[in-house]
Amino acid sequence: MTAAEDRKTADFWFDPLCPWAWMTSRWLIEVQQLRPVDVRWHVMSLAVLNEDKDIPPAYRELLAGAWGAVRVCIAAAEKHGDEVLGRLYTEIGTRFHNEALPRDRATIEAALVAAGLPAELADAADTDIHDEALRASHAEGIGLVGEEVGTPVIAVEGADGERVAFFGPVVTPTPRGEAAARLWDGTLLVASTPGFYEIKRTRTAGPSFE
């Protein structure tokens, strides 16, 4: 088997709003440098996921402002190809999370320009014209893992050669170097185990963006 044939594609579904998905995405980018993995980016939506759920009012209010970024990502992919999603997510996520900038039009426009995309794509944030495509992308990802999880969702060929999908991993700070590679190997191992569903413990720290 050649090195090219041995490469895996990891499909990654994200909502730019989620800091934990952002942490996981930076880990997966690190993994790309250490394992034969290529990431293919997709959009999912916490607003769509929770629209019919009984959630606290404060979280409902937060999600009301979550539509803009995912709509812009979908619009960018539709007009310029799915390959733009990775760099656009990096620019939006850096501003939302590392720099703690307002999640407003100005920030999204700056991210678009930095990603080499037209600033006017920010118009999509205030219209539902791309919502059908957004919901389809979301449904594809969440359909692999079920409604009781969030973002990120990763789907990849597992250790046994079968394609597996899972939520997470939820981790902070972002593992680097060999620690990132070991986490990837271990995640594939447990996700490939038939009947395996969950490892979890109480979070004692918030996401660290250093």
Alpha-carbon distance of 197 to 24, in angstroms, equals: 19
Confidence (pTM): 0.94
Alpha-carbon distance of 59 to 43, in angstroms, equals: 20
Q: In angstroms, what is the C-alpha Rg of the chain? A: 17
Bridge partners (DSSP) listed for residue 155: 11, 165
Amino acid at 56: P
Bridge partners (DSSP) listed for residue 8: 37
pLDDT (tens digit, 9 = 90+) per residue, 159-179?
778 899 999 999 999 999 999
Bridge partners (DSSP) listed for residue 39: 10
Asked if residue 4 has pLDDT above 60, the reply is no
Alpha-carbon distance of 77 to 91, in angstroms, equals: 15
pLDDT (tens digit, 9 = 90+) per residue, 111-151?
999 999 999 999 999 999 999 999 999 999 999 999 889 99
List, in order of start, the domains of the chain with CATH numbers.
6-191 (3.40.30.10)
Task: Count CB atoms within 10 A of the CB of residue 181.
Answer: 17
- Residue pair 37/90 in contact by the 8 Å Cβ criterion: no
Asked if residue 3 has pLDDT above 70, the reply is no
pLDDT score recorded for residue 209: 86
pLDDT (tens digit, 9 = 90+) per residue, 180-207?
999 999 999 999 999 999 988 998 988 9
- Structure tokens belonging to residue 31: 């993994």
